[in-house]
Amino acid sequence: MTAPTTLAGLETAGALALTDELRTGLHELYRHLHAHPELSMQEHRTAELIEQHLDGLGIENFRCGGTGVVGVLRNGEGPVVGFRADTDGLPIAEDTGLDYASTATGTLPDGTEVPVMHGCGHDTHVSVLLTVARMFAEDREAWAGTLVLIFQPGEETAAGAAAMVADGLWERAPKPEIVYGQHVMTGLAGTVSLSVGSAMAMADSLKVTVHGRQSHGSQPQDAIDPVVLGAHMVVRLQTIVSRELDPRQAAVVTVGTFHGGLKENIIPASAEFTLNIRTFDEGVRARVLASVRRIISAEAAASGAPEPEIEELYTFPACYNEPAEAEALAGVFRTALGEGAVSIVPPVMGSEDFGHLAAAIGVPAVYWTFGGHPAEVLDGGGPVPVNHSPYFAPVMEPTLSTGVNAAVAALAARLGR
């Protein structure tokens, strides 16, 4: 079913207006969330806050996937639509200088204590969706159907969406006909962007342990040097994109870390590096992954070394906007936000686990972004704070209002009376 752009839907968007009272509450909620971030799959206080808000609105809700929360807002017969907001922060020391900047800390799975920041804007996503939930709960005359509110943990580690699905998300909540999601980015505040078809890349992260033979640095003849061997692997892996793929096929192979040895005059017994691979096409993905394994194994054999160990760290699924749905939604946004506020953009190499929520039940999804910076920041000639930067701080307005208005417009186009 293609998203309608009916008069009823557009009238609903107008009825569900963001009042001054709602905007004040939106800002207060955002400030609180920004100051109190939590690491992936550890969003305990955030989940409790979401539950309190949903309870206060009379919206039935349940925990799902550990620290995930699902709200189900029913309002008679009509379509079922899902909307997702991710909730986790990042291990970043905030350096924005805001009076509501985070001073929170958290503990990584390996026991390391780290500073925590909402450096990717998930605080905007939660505050926006809770505000949208309030608007729909308090104005039931304007719409009909069921809204499934998905507050998903662990997006940054690709764990959250899969955990919610595995925990029975779609057995416990009504199955939607479509799932929507949005993300704040570094674009112009007050604007939204979306892609038709592929929106974000798949991602695969691997850890490779290279085994050699330890020896004194002065006796290389008695060693199999895993540092030299690993260096050959790193260089050779870069030829996958440049020499094995059709130039018209997009892929990225990045070696992000390399560790080996403890002292300069000891050839170590092992070395370790990690890879991140981005692709849009399943066939390209399979070919790149197969080439990675082939090269690593062959280089080890060429050095007379044992077979390396390759461990999968995490995998992000495709983030795909069903074309007819995306094009129809672009029309909805142009009507609701203004022609100049909406852009159709190419896909990006960043990744999201959002697509897993809809793919798990075979329904379409549409995912868009809204800008978070004013023109003077974008055009000021200095560095622009990007997502995952310690300086990333979306300007509150019109960023938050745009997120709310885009979400309301998308939902009203389907649920409006």
- In the numeric block, the tokens 């309870």 are attached to 55
71 DSSP 8-state letter: E
- Is 139 labeled as catalytic in the residue annotation? no
State the sign of the Cα–Cα–Cα–Cα dihedral 220, 224, 226, 231.
positive
Find the catalytic residue in 88, 299, 325, 352: 88
d(Cα 138, Cα 73) in Å, to the nearest integer?
11
d(Cα 338, Cα 342) in Å, to the nearest integer?
7
CA distances for 109 relative to 48, 69, 236, angstroms? 22, 22, 32
- Is 88 labeled as catalytic in the residue annotation? yes
State the sign of the Cα–Cα–Cα–Cα dihedral 214, 217, 218, 221.
positive
d(Cα 122, Cα 120) in Å, to the nearest integer?
6
Find the catalytic residue in 155, 156, 325, 353: 155
Strand, coil or helix: 168: coil
- In the numeric block, the tokens 């946004």 are attached to 333
Residue 152, strand partner residues: 86
d(Cα 227, Cα 245) in Å, to the nearest integer?
28
Backbone angles phi, psi at 151, to 5 degrees: -100, 100
Residues involved in catalysis? 88, 155
